[in-house]
Amino acid sequence: MMYRLARPLFFSLDPEQAHAVALESLRMAHVLGLLAPLARSIPEDPRDVMGIRFPNPVGLAAGLDKDGRYIGALGALGFGFIEVGTVTPRPQPGNPRPRLFRLPESEALINRMGFNNGGLNAFLQNVRRARFAGVLGLNIGKNADTPLERAAEDYLTCLEGVYPYASYVTVNISSPNTKNLRQLQDAEALGALLGQLKDRQARLADRHGRYVPLVLKIAPDLDEEAIVGIAAAARAHAIDGLIATNTTVSRSEVLGQAHAEEPGGLSGAPLGEASNRVIQSLVKRLEDSIPVIGVGGILSGADAKGKIAAGARLVQLYTGLIYRGPDIIAQCARALRG
Ligand SMILES: Cc1cc2nc3c(=O)[nH]c(=O)nc-3n(C[C@H](O)[C@H](O)[C@H](O)COP(=O)(O)O)c2cc1C
């Protein structure tokens, strides 16, 4: 309700500026205790996935809070879990602005942020300071200037750092905005990367006396053969979960609209069906061996139900929050409770 009044104001600003103002407003609202009624309106609907109890199945997708600066405020909105990052070992500025675009006709965004973030140390400081009691996913990536052959080192550095603070760790190999990153989804590269990550996870589990699930986030722009390969690698390496999907490089759903030609990843409503297709195909290949978290194009409770119908065990959203406001969380949670 409040968001309906605030949205025209946010949408009158440059998208990235609006993003910053919205997050600062949210922090203020949280400090003033104004978010509590929102969270209270969300039904308890616990789901046990990857050995974690999620209070409800609706999560915040990665990328809204890249540095983990707003964990408390975002957690107070009533999400069943929140995922922050992507973090890279070293700070990096990301791509030049403008790098975020609205396509309001389709309730979509195009972004080519390029993993702008303050680096692992700053991220960990923020995460520690948050002392968040809810389910927290920490999403890790590689620096833009790390050659692809050395990508595993970046992921391992990040895994070491975030492990003690994460409910689960997401390995992001699917952003279209870091050159060649998505090649890590190819069978050979993926097998090598997952092998090293699983080894390190086992050692970290020993060291910290706690097993933290490792989750792989994949792109929507994959053909059947690629999905079969990813499912096989995930099973072979006993990956704990998959997140499907990241943003798409396809523009087939938004042709002719302003900004449609901007390079980057498309998110929001036009991504929904492509993401559902990947989830369906992945779930079929995984034969229930590994849970899938469904994300991409959830703008309503019905969309969230569509993800579960496609075989996802939990859902996440980002762009829906920008277009529909925080009420979308309760709408999805209620729709999934049935
Ligand atoms: C501006 C923006 C930045 C994003 N940054 C990240 C990121 O850093 N890491 C990541 O794994 N996904 C990132 N994503 C992808 C989202 O987590 C999500 O997978 C995608 O947007 C599809 O969901 P949606 O349609 O609900 O937005 C980003 C998305 C947007 C719109």
Hey, what domains does the chain have and what are their CATH numbers?
2-337 (3.20.20.70)
pLDDT computed for residue 170 by the predictor: 98
* Ligand 1 atom closest to the CA of 268, numbered from 1: 25
Is 171's C-beta closer than 6 angstroms to any atom of ligand 1?
Answer: no
For a pocket test of ligand 1, which of 168, 173, 318 has the largest count of ligand atoms closer than 8 A to its C-beta?
A: 318
309: tokens are 């119908």
101: tokens are 């675009």
pLDDT computed for residue 1 by the predictor: 56
pTM of the model: 0.97
Q: Closest Cα to residue 327, out of 68, 130, 103, 58?
A: 58
- Are 312 and 54 in contact, with CB atoms under 8 Å apart? no
Give alpha helix (H) positions in the chain.
2-12, 15-31, 36-40, 71-75, 119-130, 151-162, 187-208, 224-236, 272-286, 301-309, 319-324, 327-337
Nearest CA to ligand 1 atom 19: 246
Is 86's C-beta closer than 6 angstroms to any atom of ligand 1?
Answer: yes
Q: Which residues pair with 137 in a beta bridge?
A: 83, 168
Q: How far is CA 78 from CA 25, 179, 306, in A?
A: 17, 35, 21
The CA distance from 51 to 53, in Å, is 7
The CA distance from 66 to 141, in Å, is 11
Is 30's C-beta closer than 6 angstroms to any atom of ligand 1?
Answer: no
pLDDT computed for residue 188 by the predictor: 82
Q: How far is CA 262 from CA 93, 103, 114, 266, in A?
A: 19, 11, 14, 10
Rg of the chain over CA atoms, in angstroms?
Answer: 18
Nearest CA to ligand 1 atom 1: 111
- Phi and psi at residue 246, in whole multiples of 5°? -80, -165
| CA 206–ligand 1 middle distance (angstroms) | 32
Specify the residue for token string 């600062």: 24
18: tokens are 């609006």
For a pocket test of ligand 1, which of 88, 262, 267 has the largest count of ligand atoms closer than 8 A to its C-beta?
A: 267
The CA distance from 191 to 236, in Å, is 8
Is 331's C-beta closer than 6 angstroms to any atom of ligand 1?
Answer: no
Nearest CA to ligand 1 atom 5: 63
Among the listed residues 106, 167, 174, 175, the single catalytic one is 175
- Are 244 and 295 in contact, with CB atoms under 8 Å apart? yes
Q: Closest Cα to residue 168, out of 278, 246, 51?
A: 51
The CA distance from 67 to 70, in Å, is 8
The CA distance from 33 to 16, in Å, is 26
Is 95's C-beta closer than 6 angstroms to any atom of ligand 1?
Answer: no
- Are 166 and 211 in contact, with CB atoms under 8 Å apart? no
pLDDT computed for residue 8 by the predictor: 84
- Are 135 and 80 in contact, with CB atoms under 8 Å apart? yes
Q: Cα 298 to chain center, whole Å?
A: 13
Catalytic (active site) residue 175: yes
| CA 140–ligand 1 middle distance (angstroms) | 13
Where does residue 326 fall: left (phi above 0), alpha (psi -120 to 50 degrees), or beta otherwise? alpha
| Tens-binned pLDDT, residue by residue, of the chain (338 aa) | 578 778 888 888 889 999 999 999 999 999 999 988 888 889 899 999 999 999 999 999 999 999 999 999 999 999 999 999 999 999 999 999 999 999 999 999 999 999 999 999 999 999 999 999 999 999 999 999 999 999 999 999 999 999 999 999 999 998 898 888 888 877 788 999 999 999 999 999 999 999 999 999 999 999 999 999 999 999 999 999 999 999 999 999 999 999 999 999 999 999 999 999 999 999 999 998 999 999 999 999 999 999 999 999 999 999 999 999 999 999 999 999 97
Nearest CA to ligand 1 atom 7: 63
62: tokens are 């990665």
Is 319's C-beta closer than 6 angstroms to any atom of ligand 1?
Answer: yes
